[in-house]
Amino acid sequence: MDLEQVCEKLLLNCLGLKSGEQLLIVTDDLERNLAEPLYSAGQALGAEAMLMVMKARKRSGEEPPVSIAKALAAVDVAVCITQFSMTHTKAKKQAAAAGTRIATMPGITEDMFRQGAITADYTKVRTLTTRVTELLDQGSEVRIEKEGHPFTFSINGRQGVPSPGVYLNPGESGNLPSGEAFIAPVEGTASGEIFVDASVVGVGKLSNPLLLTVENGQLIQADGEGDAELLEILGEGKGRNVAEFGIGTNLWARITGNVLEDEKVYGTTHVAFGSNLTFGGTVDAGVHIDCVFTEPDFWIDGTKVMDKGQLIV
């Protein structure tokens, strides 16, 4: 299939686009070449397709212009194909609350359109994602361990969020490609060390590990590949907040260095820093940076859920 045909399949199968619906493609100058085939695919499917191009943001989690935020909330379906992620922005949250079916595709490449996570059997991804989300919903305390480094936090009172890659009902939203369940740890409760060995937003695929030290819910130290870049992106304030814990549920996904796909890989988990206001937390930092690690062990309320990357419950 050519790229426009791939885009038509994505719009039909993952977003349920119908003839006559209003479709908005939001992009920036860095991703416009991949946004235009989505726009053309929407036209070919009979939608009222629109394309809005903005200046590239400086970091993931930064808000788009107000005009784009308003447009997102006024359409039936939206796809945000930008260099940095709009997934955890207030604009995306408000659009979903208004009933928009919305997919975010930060940093996607043409290769990712054709191979890997996007080729998944999303019926299977949805089933596994639902199962993992239920485990998070029922839990109070999480403990992760990799290479002898323990990391703990509370999820008491927080709800898991599914991102199954299929958004067919009003207000459903998530990444494309997708396959993860995630949750906002209770602020101030995280403590320990995170052994990151796969990839980090803004750094890319790691050749050597990165060890992150957390106290009272805040990142206080980073040692290893990409440490300076990560700390510069997060800054000294709210960006250091432990914002998210996520579990990959897509058996087709690959570690590529692009966290959009990396964090969906079955057998990985990830911790993000910065904003979590849009999915059950209380912090609005203007930045959200994911750090992905492979084959960890983790427990929920003392029950082992994952053994070296394999779900066992």
Give 31-46 pLDDT, tens digit per residue.
999 999 999 999 999 9
The letter for the amino acid at 80 is: C
On the question of pLDDT at 89 being above 80, the answer is yes
Residues 66 and 69: their CA atoms lie apart, in Å, by 5
Is there a single domain that holds both residue 128 and residue 269? yes
Please report the pLDDT score of residue 274 as a whole number: 97
pTM greater than the 0.95 cutoff: no
Question: CATH no. for residue 15?
Answer: 3.40.1830.10
Is there a single domain that holds both residue 196 and residue 297? yes
Query: Which residues, 6 or more positions from 87, have their beta carbon under 8 angstroms from its beta carbon?
Result: 60, 104, 106, 174, 175, 288
DSSP structural state of residue 83? S
* pLDDT-derived band at 312, boundaries 50, 70, 90: very high
Please report the pLDDT score of residue 264 as a whole number: 97
Please report the pLDDT score of residue 246 as a whole number: 98
The letter for the amino acid at 122 is: Y
| Mean pLDDT, the chain, integer | 96
On the question of pLDDT at 159 being above 90, the answer is yes
Please report the pLDDT score of residue 313 as a whole number: 81
Is there a single domain that holds both residue 281 and residue 194? yes
Digit-coded pLDDT (tens) for 233-267: 999 999 999 999 999 999 999 999 999 999 999 99
* pLDDT-derived band at 12, boundaries 50, 70, 90: very high
Q: What is the mean pLDDT of residues 80-104?
A: 96
On the question of pLDDT at 304 being above 90, the answer is yes
Please report the pLDDT score of residue 66 as a whole number: 98
Is there a single domain that holds both residue 148 and residue 219? yes
Is there a single domain that holds both residue 99 and residue 136? no
Is there a single domain that holds both residue 104 and residue 188? no
Q: Name the residue range of residue 201's domain.
A: 118-311
Structural domains counted in the chain: 2
The residue out of 74, 90, 111 marking a domain boundary is 111
* pLDDT-derived band at 162, boundaries 50, 70, 90: very high
The residue out of 73, 93, 111 marking a domain boundary is 111
Q: How far is CA 63 from CA 44, 72, 82, 253, in A?
A: 30, 12, 12, 28
Please report the pLDDT score of residue 257 as a whole number: 94
Contact 243, 275 (CB under 8 A): yes
Is there a single domain that holds both residue 233 and residue 296? yes
Is there a single domain that holds both residue 83 and residue 122? no
- 231 CB burial (10 A radius; 0-12, 13-18, 19+): middle
Digit-coded pLDDT (tens) for 208-234: 999 999 999 999 999 999 999 999 999
On the question of pLDDT at 79 being above 90, the answer is yes
The residue out of 83, 111, 139 marking a domain boundary is 111
Is there a single domain that holds both residue 33 and residue 154? no
Is there a single domain that holds both residue 124 and residue 245? yes
* Structure tokens that stand for 124 in this block: 């299977």
Please report the pLDDT score of residue 2 as a whole number: 86
Is there a single domain that holds both residue 217 and residue 171? yes
Q: What is the mean pLDDT of residues 42-56?
A: 98
Is there a single domain that holds both residue 17 and residue 159? no
